[in-house]
Structure 1
Amino acid sequence: MSITLAQANEIIQAALVRSKAKGFKPMGIAVLDEAGNLKAYVSEDGASMFPPREA
């Protein structure tokens, strides 16, 4: 079963809510499909300027 873009966006939104609730610094969040390919990625304002090397 393949993950849809809508599902990936739901995962990202849930991760953003949880990271804010935990008081984490701004971050990048990646969602991968079952083959390990990048499906969606967001980087919050103020996140590290270094690109992700691993997801």
Structure 2
Amino acid sequence: MATCRQQWPETPVLVSAQAYLVGFYQGLGFEFMGECYLEDGIPHRNMILK
């Protein structure tokens, strides 16, 4: 994330987070973006760090 911020400071960081790791990403400042979906049979959430 530090590299993303350094190289593209105005661009939000987007991740496709496995649902069981949502709390981890929220602890880093990420927020939900959209609904839960399955990827390879595993629940995921798109998350954004502005």
- What TM-score do you get using the length of structure 1 for normalisation? 0.29
- What TM-score do you get using the length of structure 2 for normalisation? 0.31
**Which of the pair is proportionally richer in strand?**
2
Of structures 1 and 2, the one with the larger relative CO (CA 8 A, separation 6+) is: 2
